[in-house]
Amino acid sequence: KKNRRVEIDPSGLFRKPPGPAPAPAEVDTLIAEVGKTLGSLPLGRAGIVLPTTARFLDPAEQSVAMTEYRGSLDFTKILITDGLGFAGAKFTVAVQLSTGWHVAMNMGSLRCWAPAPFSASLVHELAHAWQSQHHATDPTVFMANSVKCQAKGIALSKVTGKTYSAYAYVPGKAFGDYGSEQIAQQVQHHFTGRGSPTPVVPSTIQAATPNAPVAANAASLTVVAALELGAPGVISP
């Protein structure tokens, strides 16, 4: 077994906000845990890129995040890696270290994600960090829900010959009636000024206290949803 060199971007580590964070030795553990999680996704291993390095959000990224999430995120427990999920897509996971649960956003690169248009992806993946940090009992529930919603979209598309998406949504529902990806897509649309996001989605997110359970979030993460693109009333991602 070859030793794997793990590189850490010091800018993210040194410019993080005050508070507990993984020591450099634990970043190695985080990367290993993220790799195991990505490799075990039921959607398959096609296109997955295992991470080799990680960093915290830099000040510019935190500033972007604050515009959409206000003070609801704990930045000391959120990192960016150079890994990718199924089919080469960005995918966020939660892993437990000795210093507590951390969210790793597998973005494919450690570039700064603050400038447009990259900031839209940052805001989208941070929605999953929010879902993780605001679940009362299991910080990983959002992962299972995301996979189930995407699997449903793939299955329905195959069976019907139409295109279904876990990210498409119908405006006007309660927060708890949307699946994890529908919530993340509406947050992204609210940030970019696109689509027709339901007002209760950003307002619920922005009102949350860091790391405090949100009942509507728990309800949302039980909803397995995928909608047909182009169907009446459906907003496409």
Answer whether residue 30 shows pLDDT above 50. yes
Q: Which residue would you say has higher pLDDT here, 55 or 179?
A: 179
User: How many CA atoms does the CB half-sphere of 118 hold within 13 Å?
Assistant: 11
Answer whether residue 17 shows pLDDT above 50. no
User: What are 158-215's pLDDT values in tens digits?
Assistant: 999 999 999 999 999 999 999 999 999 999 999 999 999 999 999 999 999 999 999 9
Q: Which residue would you say has higher pLDDT here, 185 or 97?
A: 185
The 10 Å Cβ neighbour count of residue 24 is 10
Q: What percent of the chain has pLDDT over 90?
A: 73
CA 23, chain centre distance (Å): 23
- Alpha helix locations (H) across the chain? 10-14, 24-39, 59-69, 118-133, 141-160, 180-192, 200-207, 215-220
